[in-house]
Amino acid sequence: MLNTTDLQKEILRLKHEKGVCILAHAYETHDIIEIADYVGDSFGLSKQAKDAKENTILMCGVRFMAETVKILSPEKKVILSHPDAGCPMAEQLSVDELKRLKKDLPNAKVVAYINTTAALKCECDMCVTSASAVELMKSLDSDEVLFIPDPNLGSFVKKAVPNKKYHFINGGCPVHMGISYEDVANAKAKHPNAKLLVHPECKKEVTQCADYVGSTTGIMGYVKNIDENEFIIGTENSIVEHLKFEYPDKKFYPLSKKCICSDMKLTTLVDVYNCLLGIGGEEIVLDEYTLKNARRAIDNMLN
């Protein structure tokens, strides 16, 4: 039986031998983060996918992230680390429902959070990520926006860029929406000197109490750049673990013990190993129509 360190060494050997680039979202477990070529938020992963020189990319994350990699690099072999790793929010709106909404709102540009299926992206004007949404919205050449699917990120953007008419749908991330104002009050009472850093997928009652609202990479960057020692982290709890490794002298507390994304946690180090052996994961295959039309919305974000 291999232990964690042996398995990591074997993964690194196979990765070099087979010319595979491993991308990992920051919500993956720490043993996976350690063997990845690049770790980041959705925006960073998209950019990295475009620039990777290897012909095979193994995406340790959820399906929409692997689809984004394939759309940006259709000539490459893209493998999703676990076939069942999806994002419930990405599937909250169907293509037919979106087409109906577009008919009712003919003047609105459709802005999609990157947490959407490739099929939905085909119907959108521009993608955004949590890290890029505010800046991109400022430069959008439309006064009316249909923002899908996350109304919480949408409201956060609306507050920062209020001079547009916004339309939202019902939905959101079930993991982040589980965090309540009560969690904030409890955490602040327990750790009165800690800074509160949260993801914009949290509800307004949570984001409006925060010292900083930003993407996963944004939260980690905030910790790096500020001279403070205690932080309450309002996003998936892997970030708490990674921050503890990076800054062992500082204190990090989860805002909610329940903030765990079971989809991001599906991939194990053994799955990564099996993917490299060619006996695990799922190769992402998208048809020509989807590759061409979903790319427009992603390019509009990256350009």
Which amino acid is residue 248, in one-letter code?
P
Give which of ligand 13P, ligand SF4, none residue 7 binds (C-beta under 5 to 8 Å, depending on kind).
none
Which of 264, 275, 276, 294 binds ligand SF4 (CB under 6 A)? It is 264
By CB under 6 A, residue 73 contacts ligand 13P: no
Place of tokens 């959820």: 62
By CB under 6 A, residue 130 contacts ligand 13P: yes
Give which of ligand 13P, ligand SF4, none residue 263 binds (C-beta under 5 to 8 Å, depending on kind).
ligand SF4
Which of 129, 238, 256, 290 binds ligand 13P (CB under 6 A)? It is 129
Q: Which is nearer to ligand SF4, 111 or 264 (CB)?
A: 264
Torsion of CA 252, 254, 260, 264, to 10 degrees: -20
Backbone angles phi, psi at 164, to 5 degrees: -140, 160
Give the integer Cα–Cα distance in Å for 33 and 23.
9
Secondary structure of residue 200 in the 3-state scheme? coil
By CB under 6 A, residue 42 contacts ligand 13P: yes
- Per-residue binding string, ligand 13P, 210-239, x by CB under 6 A, is -----xx-----------------------
Q: Which is nearer to ligand SF4, 63 or 70 (CB)?
A: 63
Supply the Cα-derived Rg of the chain in whole angstroms: 19
Give the integer Cα–Cα distance in Å for 81 and 61.
7
Give the integer Cα–Cα distance in Å for 133 and 178.
22
- Per-residue binding string, ligand SF4, 184-203, x by CB under 6 A, is -----------------x--
By CB under 6 A, residue 207 contacts ligand 13P: no
Which amino acid is residue 31, in one-letter code?
D
Tokens of 194: 């800690």
Residues 216 and 27: beta-carbon distance below 8 Å: yes
Give which of ligand SF4, ligand 13P, none residue 88 binds (C-beta under 5 to 8 Å, depending on kind).
ligand SF4
Q: Which residues are near ligand 13P by CB under 6 A?
A: 41-42, 115, 129-131, 173, 201, 215-216
